[in-house]
Structure 1
Amino acid sequence: MMSSAVVLVTGGSGFLGQHVIKHLQLHSSNLKEIRVLDLVSFRKKLEYKESFPVRSFTGSITNRDLVSEACKGADAVLHIASLVDSTLFPNEKALQEVNIKGTEVVLEACKVNSVPILIYCSSISIYVGHDEVKKGTETTVPIPHKFMFEKYAKTKLKAQNMVLGANGDILKNGKELKTCAILPLAMYGELDINLVYQYVTHVKGTLIPRIPKLGKMEAEIQVSYVGNVAMMFVKALEVMRKEVDIGGEYFYAADDTPLQTLPSLLQPYLDGTGHSFSSWYIPLWLVLILVIIVQIVMAVIRPWKKVNTYFNIEGIRFLNKTFHVTYDKAKRILGYKPMYNLQSSINNSNVYYNSVLNK
């Protein structure tokens, strides 16, 4: 039997972090304590029975003293804290500071405090370029020559390389550090503030019942339910605690949510609002021209007012390009299979998105 473990979750107060903690509570065994390190003090936002005590550390992952304190006596770190910025004008300095420097600090703290397991939350963005990918695997999808979300993806790739490259490094106590990475896709579900949330909240404020398509939007979009992604972290931790050698590996965190066009994906969350996507579309070339005009206007304004938007060329292209991968490697090596089927994923999510619409 494995001894009781202390697990630190960085970014545990966020969207994915809250679900990881929930699934650690529900599906882990022999934990002594769950620690959370986040800019925001941890407050439970999901419904579940707590099996293990939670201790909160509040502050930045770039704070060496704080991170080291949180790592003292820990047996594993799930490093989820990250800055995601896919806006028109991404904050490059903050991306470097959080995603790269923050990961360096976490790695250093693991070595100094002899934490033997580090599981890094990377991003599928580091494999998304301008070419289509169908049924991609970890061995068939190359790093693209040009990223779709350049500024963000570069920082995540560098951080992932640092973590996986540190596999086998010697800890202060003379033992080896074991690392791996989980790569979430775009996610939906409770506490989401990204793709589905952005559309739902924008629809809420409009009187136009038909949402125009930006391009044909016929591309197959792949998303994952956040609960399934969270369980992949739990499975990876379980396997590594059993000392199965998966060090230096990375895994795509996909599930069985069907490949769909964006309108089909969003419609279940728009039902009951009186809104749906139009049968017609704005030609992609015209959308891109409009985006360029918006970009120029905002660039002129920014010296006086820091305006920004998610309406950008990369986002429009992403929603009109087929990209999907499999979770075969995680199934084979981690014993992972999605815990939530499509209907339960939609039902769980709908409660949240309806609450957003009714605010």
Structure 2
Amino acid sequence: MKDSATVLVTGGTGFLGQHVVGLLQTKADHVTEIRVLDMVPFENKLDYNHTKPLKTFVGSITDEKILKEACHGVQSVIHIAGIPDSAMFPDKDRINEVNVQGTLLTLLTALGTAGIQRFIYCSSMSVAIGNNDVTQGISENDPIPSKRLFEPYASSKLTGERIVLSANSPTFRTVSLRPLVMWGELDTIFVQLSQRMAMWTFGYLPTINCGDVVQHNAYVGNTAWGFVCAEKKLHSDFKKDDPISEMSISVKNESEKSKFCSELRRRSKRMRIDSEFEDFKDTSRDSELSSANIYYIADDNPPENPFKFQDPILTASGYKIIKYPCPLFIMNIVFYIIYGVLVFLRLFGLKFNFPVGLGCLSYYRRSYIFNDAKAREELGYRPLYTPEVALERSLKYYEKFSYRVN
């Protein structure tokens, strides 16, 4: 088929990746073959019909050999693979290696592979949140805060975003999607972490007094649909030989493309030595980057107090939220005590960690609301699942997890 496409999904065995693969199977008629590159073989963990051929490539996105094998014969790359780390002591070297170096190598491989036309990058809403309330809706045009809550993860995703968007050209389209905090089937971080904490505290989840804070979360199925909508839109535009005219173009021709790749590879080798993000900060200066290539993906779930949102899920799982929230200053004291103990232990080489970092406390102090009007207008995105359907689908998963941890 002339208009058919083979799509590679990096990180396709993970939380978001599984949902993207499922929707490529069932909701993307132009996709005739799906490839998944991840550290473990792909296994369909969701309830959908597996009708299109799928190939699994087992390996790391930091391995150029496996990247070249996976990209051969592909027309589009959906790059989701990454390390989310919000622990008290995040592994900076690992985050750097996968989220920056791995993204760079994946992009370079795609640029050097004949036939690849599109590169859809999974960024994060964490690049845009700092110590400030945003109640009017964060949009793509809003400035990036100089200090972000979840470091170094946020900086690694922002660096990857800058690198990817810098490669945009008339023949190689790149976009960056910024998912919100996600929940739903296969979640192991957001609600599941609350379930674990409730289990550790005899079935009751301690809460923080957040005041009037409300936050935007999104059902993972709708986020995944945003990625598929981006793929469908870019494919449609290429088929019509009419790429999105509003997009910013960084690489004008093949000569610039070659120079660009050489420069990225030089910086890649340098980064392996100094292991820092700084050498990529001028890859594409903020003043030269257009927000035209960036999209937030939210859904119709209303912004809500984070603990009120989780209440029905925890109740269905057999847990309860403590009705009297802990004052934030007390929780701050507790966290700093934990931090101090862990620092002391690490002096003796004991690498103990805590799954929740200090940035999480700041996160629960602020309201964060996002505006996805641009994705709806330009990508044709509309949430695939209503809030009621999303909750119904998710409860079945979270209830099973409850039985597993008990």
1:202-351 → structure 2 map (5 Å cutoff): 202-207=197-202, 209=204, 211-216=205-210, 218-243=212-237, 244-245=243-244, 247=247, 249-273=293-317, 275-302=319-346, 303-351=348-396
Deviates more, 1:264-273 or 1:146-155: 264-273
Once the two structures are TM-superposed, the CA of residue 214 in structure 1 deviates from its matched residue by 2.1
Q: Equivalent residue of 1:89, what SS?
A: coil
Tell whether 2:91 aligns with 1:47. no
**8 Å contact 2:138–2:369 — kept in the other structure?**
no
Partner of 2:254: none
Tell whether 2:151 aligns with 1:150. yes
Amino acid at match of 1:264: K
Q: Equivalent residue of 1:213, what SS?
A: coil
Tell whether 2:118 aligns with 1:117. yes
CA spacing shift, 1:247–1:52, aligned 2, 3 Å = farther
Tell whether 2:142 aligns with 1:132. no
1:162-201 → structure 2 map (5 Å cutoff): 162-168=163-169, 176-201=171-196
Q: Distance in 2 between matches of 1:7 and 1:272?
A: 37
Q: Distance in 2 between matches of 1:202 and 1:286?
A: 18
Q: Distance in 1 between matches of 2:140 and 2:118?
A: 24
Once the two structures are TM-superposed, the CA of residue 279 in structure 1 deviates from its matched residue by 3.2
**8 Å contact 1:122–1:160 — kept in the other structure?**
yes
Partner of 1:172: none
Partner of 1:84: 84
Q: Distance in 2 between matches of 1:153 and 1:273?
A: 31
Q: Distance in 1 between matches of 2:379 and 2:235?
A: 12
CA spacing shift, 1:139–1:353, aligned 2, 3 Å = closer
**8 Å contact 2:126–2:150 — kept in the other structure?**
yes
**8 Å contact 1:38–1:60 — kept in the other structure?**
yes
Once the two structures are TM-superposed, the CA of residue 276 in structure 1 deviates from its matched residue by 2.8
CA spacing shift, 1:2–1:320, aligned 2, 3 Å = farther
Tell whether 2:33 aligns with 1:33. yes
Q: Distance in 1 between matches of 2:107 and 2:78?
A: 11
Once the two structures are TM-superposed, the CA of residue 213 in structure 1 deviates from its matched residue by 2.1
Q: Equivalent residue of 2:360, what SS?
A: helix
Q: Distance in 2 between matches of 1:138 and 1:326?
A: 5
**8 Å contact 2:19–2:224 — kept in the other structure?**
yes
Tell whether 2:108 aligns with 1:64. no
Which whole-Å deviations, capped at 9, do the CAs of 1:104-128 have from their partners, x for residues lacking one?
Answer: 1111111111311000000000001
Deviates more, 1:200-209 or 1:54-63: 200-209
**8 Å contact 2:34–2:53 — kept in the other structure?**
yes
Amino acid at match of 2:108: E
Deviates more, 1:200-209 or 1:317-326: 200-209
Once the two structures are TM-superposed, the CA of residue 247 in structure 1 deviates from its matched residue by 4.3
Q: Distance in 1 between matches of 2:166 and 2:67?
A: 20
**8 Å contact 1:164–1:247 — kept in the other structure?**
no
CA spacing shift, 1:208–1:238, aligned 2, 3 Å = closer
Once the two structures are TM-superposed, the CA of residue 272 in structure 1 deviates from its matched residue by 4.1
Amino acid at match of 1:191: L
Q: Which runs of 5 or more residues in structure 1 are unaligned?
A: 169-174
Which whole-Å deviations, capped at 9, do the CAs of 1:73-126 have from their partners, x for residues lacking one?
Answer: 100000000110111101000011000110111111111113110000000000
RMSD: 1.6
Once the two structures are TM-superposed, the CA of residue 4 in structure 1 deviates from its matched residue by 1.2
Q: Equivalent residue of 1:358, what SS?
A: helix
Once the two structures are TM-superposed, the CA of residue 286 in structure 1 deviates from its matched residue by 1.9
Once the two structures are TM-superposed, the CA of residue 47 in structure 1 deviates from its matched residue by 1.1
Q: Distance in 2 between matches of 1:158 and 1:217?
A: 34
Bigger relative CO (Cα 8 Å, ≥ 6 apart): 2
Deviates more, 1:74-83 or 1:287-296: 287-296
CA spacing shift, 1:2–1:142, aligned 2, 3 Å = farther
Q: Distance in 1 between matches of 2:190 and 2:135?
A: 21
Identity among equivalent positions (%) equals 34
Partner of 1:3: 3
Q: Count residues in correspondence.
A: 352
Q: Distance in 2 between matches of 1:111 and 1:295?
A: 43
Deviates more, 1:189-198 or 1:294-303: 294-303
Q: Distance in 1 between matches of 2:29 and 2:400?
A: 33
**8 Å contact 2:34–2:55 — kept in the other structure?**
yes
Deviates more, 1:247-256 or 1:188-197: 247-256
Once the two structures are TM-superposed, the CA of residue 2 in structure 1 deviates from its matched residue by 5.7
TM-score, with normalisation over the residues of structure 2? 0.83
Once the two structures are TM-superposed, the CA of residue 221 in structure 1 deviates from its matched residue by 1.7
Q: Equivalent residue of 1:305, what SS?
A: coil
